[in-house]
Structure 1
């Protein structure tokens, strides 16, 4: 089984694939050694680590070089967050994703909102971009930002319908899974999992439940986004602050 098929097979509703997102080869080695079944980058963390901001300001060649280094330190399938696909046209998306495939990626994330845009792409446009990415023979985790900026009191059946409409279009276009971030309501998650033709990926955040609890809702994949990177940077800042404040290393070693 090749790594794309291996990665795709890990998406099982009810038995979620847990992706503790990393940002470079060193963090990939640590997470792989901790027992991960696959490795996933997060665009925010990778951009910030390299001195850029999220939103495709990180040059594609830098993202790909980072990917190449990651795949040299692990035999696990690696998926790369490509944001909106690094391309204004479907042809450009296809070229960018093919480069990621050639660099060793088994999967990608692909958003249905262009960098910096407030509005989602029309369904047919987003689906065409998914199809262009899927043509590379890679697992496409098609992300929809239907819940971006929404609060719990905004959740309505119409939003679920909008997610399912996009899930159906993305499935027809060749996506392997559906990523619905910014969503924490368990009843809504369960309903989306029931209706989606694709395995559902949820973004974890405090209060969103355990792996078992999310699995019981039908979730097939749980991502941690930039959370691991943010926690590591917070720790680094705290340690450095303590060292410079009193000269005493606050940790043993």
Structure 2
């Protein structure tokens, strides 16, 4: 467990470093190996959407947990970098899911609150933190609040910000080192979240064509930016574009590299 403890501490330190942590989400062994071999990459994270899609499931805990964990374990075994797992909402038992993830070599993870009653959401955070402690590691929980994702159309954004901060503070007090707020891309809203949660406590997702560059997020005090399902979509876009070129009478992209 010493190696896992070292990886966990490394991952935690990356979240508190002055430089923003950029996590490119991966979905299988080869994507993880390609990302891990890229200069500047310091840690990896899985995306539940990408892993589920790989096996033909819709996101949202539709993929069986055993299958999900099997893929995550294969990824962890194939790379030497700290790995964070998207645990979705914990599959009904966040602490047990975290315990099993650690057994697979995982040292951090996302956990959705799905806007459940705050006491229940805090209890789930505490269970994950406790599972890491029981395993002898500083499990890096990226506690996610869905205040924006589950909001009704036209909801007051200032009220959503206040709720995200309220929940995020509760998660931080329960032991999560960082809080993930998807659905936020505007500079002023990110500034408000950083002010409410503290510098180095907020993590966000990069949305193609909408999000601020990582260097600007760093200047705003964001701890981490990840890519969620979008990296798999980047790969699939390149695949489809190549197919279109081929069936149209062309050739494969000349710049294609032998990455596997």
Q: TM-score, normalised by structure 1?
A: 0.89
For the 8 Å contact 1:13–1:219, the answer to whether it is kept is no
Q: CA deviation at 1:220?
A: 0.4
Classify 1:156/1:54 alpha carbon distance in 2 versus 1 (closer, same or farther; 3 Å). Answer: closer
For the 8 Å contact 1:14–1:216, the answer to whether it is kept is no
RMSD: 2.0
Unaligned runs of 5+ in 1: 114-119
One of 121, 133, 144 as aligned partner of 1:126: 121
For the 8 Å contact 2:179–2:202, the answer to whether it is kept is yes
Q: CA deviation at 1:231?
A: 1.2
Deviates more, 1:36-45 or 1:12-21: 12-21
Q: CA deviation at 1:80?
A: 0.6
Q: TM-score, normalised by structure 2?
A: 0.87
Unaligned runs of 5+ in 2: 133-138
Listed one character per residue, the Cα deviations across residues 29-54 of structure 1 (whole Å, up to 9, x for unaligned) are 11111131100011111110111110
Q: CA deviation at 1:244?
A: 3.4
Q: Secondary structure at the match of 1:79?
A: strand
Query: What residue number does 1:106 align with?
Result: 107
Listed one character per residue, the Cα deviations across residues 42-99 of structure 1 (whole Å, up to 9, x for unaligned) are 1111110111110111111111111111112211100010100111xxxx22111100
For the 8 Å contact 1:16–1:221, the answer to whether it is kept is yes
Classify 1:145/1:13 alpha carbon distance in 2 versus 1 (closer, same or farther; 3 Å). Answer: farther
Q: CA deviation at 1:224?
A: 0.8
Q: CA deviation at 1:149?
A: 5.4
Q: CA deviation at 1:158?
A: 2.4
One of 210, 213, 227 as aligned partner of 2:230: 227
Q: CA deviation at 1:166?
A: 0.6
